[in-house]
Chains A and B, each alone.
Chain A
Amino acid sequence: MPPVANYTEEQLVSLLKQGSRDAFNYLYVNYSAVLYGIINRVIRDEITAQDVLQEAFVKIWNNVAQYDPVKGRIYTWMMNIARNAAIDKLRSKGEIMKGKIQTGEDVVFNIQNSKGTEQLTDAIGLRDIVGALRPDYYKIVDLAYFKGFTLDEISKTLDVPLGTVKTRMRAAIQQLRQHFSN
């Protein structure tokens, strides 16, 4: 692979809109692992996860003309595409109920023990973070970010009022920000 240049987000977006292969390589090198991590936590089956990663990149590529930088950074836009692609895949495979029946307790348990051994090894960086947050806060971020639960679904699954979920989500992300700025 040829060396990947360093782009500002503005340059990257402009090049992507022109169909540049260098821009694709940059995106892939810098973001594919992050997207794959999220997809794997929604999907869990590695082969399907690879299909979804491909679908996500194709969607990202085909829709980059619609990406509006004023609304947020490109990672957020890509992350939502990838996560939605994963959820759609689960839905189409009829597995959406299996994934979402898990309650908050199970989810934290699964992360801290070995529900997916290769995922746990890769998630060593995650353990620090899990340790740094209040368990009920981490639970909510994990459900929304890594499992694709909507706030509404979290509220129903954890049997917690929607307003409380929103407040906890904010508090959780603030704790995250604290953690990363140290």
Chain B
Amino acid sequence: MNAQDYIASGLLEAYVLGDLPDADVAEVAKAMVQYPEVAAEVAAIEEALLSLGKAAAIQPPPALQDQIWNAIQQQSATTIVADRAEGIPKVIPFNPQTQVRKFTFAKAAVWAALIASALLNLILWNGKKSAEQSAVAYQQQLDTVREGQRALAIALAKYEHEVTMMANPNMHPVVMKTTQKDHPMVAVIYYNSEGTDAYVSLQRLPAAPSGMQYQLWAIADGKPIDLGVIQNDMVKTQGIEKVNKSVPSGQAFAISLEKEGGSPVPTMDKIFVMGKVSS
């Protein structure tokens, strides 16, 4: 068939509508590469159907956007656990600026929340003077607000500490890159060359499935050394956690997915990210 035959046949319309058997789909795809007019015709059909779709569009409820994102995160985690390590690390540029910016934004958000919370306190206090609320109900509200304020203040202190820590020139980051093909994941371990403390930061690890936990390892002299398990809610907030065990100078660091509570040796095909220490 030449280009005009394809175009006149109605095959291209069926192709866009998803109505062709696989063999025909392959044939049309080839024709699109072979004949630019065929590709152009397909593009015009697609455009028309998109416009039709837009005319019939219905806004989904706004809450769905976050809900779907969360579902996607859960789903990817399950898929990744089923994969085997393919040994081809994906290179993700590590940008310290982004880190600091992210924390600055988070810090600003925490301040904003603290201020809003203090304002709420004030409003509630004024409310007490004129409202018919019972004293008990008011006290409960105040307690909740105070608790919230305390949590926010703790979070703020944590961010401050993390930014200070990252700025310390004795802190060396080791970027652990993904070992699972097609699944971008990154984590970073910051260890102090004086050997005092170390932190692990999870940029992008999927949520651990229930009953499992991530575990951090140092690899020294070819042997893996357990550095502890990572709390699952920390994975969700993508924060920084202090490593509770002493970190030996190693050749590499890695994170694997183990059953809850960790394992004495890492499960080799569940190693998600790994990074070498540059000498």
Binding site for B on A (CB under 8 A): 1, 17-19, 21, 24-25, 28, 32-38, 40-41, 50, 53-54, 57-58, 61-62, 65, 68, 70-73, 75-76, 79-80, 83-84, 118-119, 122-123, 125-126, 128-129, 141, 144-146, 150-151, 166-167, 169-170, 173, 176-177, 180
Contacts and interface: CB of A to CB of B under 8 A. Distances in A.
Interface size class of B (residues with CB under 8 A): 35 or more
A57 B72 contact: yes
A176 B51 contact: yes
A34 B42 contact: no
A32 B60 contact: yes
B55 A33 contact: no
A54 B68 contact: yes
Interface in B38-84: 42-61, 64-65, 67-69, 71-72, 75-76, 79
Given A83-B18, A126-B55, A145 B67 contact: no
A177 B48 contact: yes
A24 B69 contact: yes
22 contacts: A18-B92, A28-B65, A33-B58, A35-B53, A53-B68, A54-B68, A62-B79, A71-B29, A73-B43, A75-B46, A79-B49, A80-B18, A84-B18, A125-B54, A126-B55, A126-B56, A144-B17, A144-B19, A145-B53, A151-B14, A166-B14, A176-B48
A58 B69 contact: no
Given A1-B65, A58-B75, A166-B9, A33 B59 contact: yes
Most buried by A among B11, B64, B184: B64
Contacts of A36: 57-60
A28 B72 CA distance: 13
B89 to A, nearest CB: 14
Contacts of B29: 68, 70-71
Contacts, number: 149
B204 interface: yes
A38 B14 contact: no
A169 B65 contact: no
Contacts of A180: 47-48, 51
Interface of B: 8-11, 13-19, 25, 29, 32-33, 42-61, 64-65, 67-69, 71-72, 75-76, 79, 92, 182-184, 204
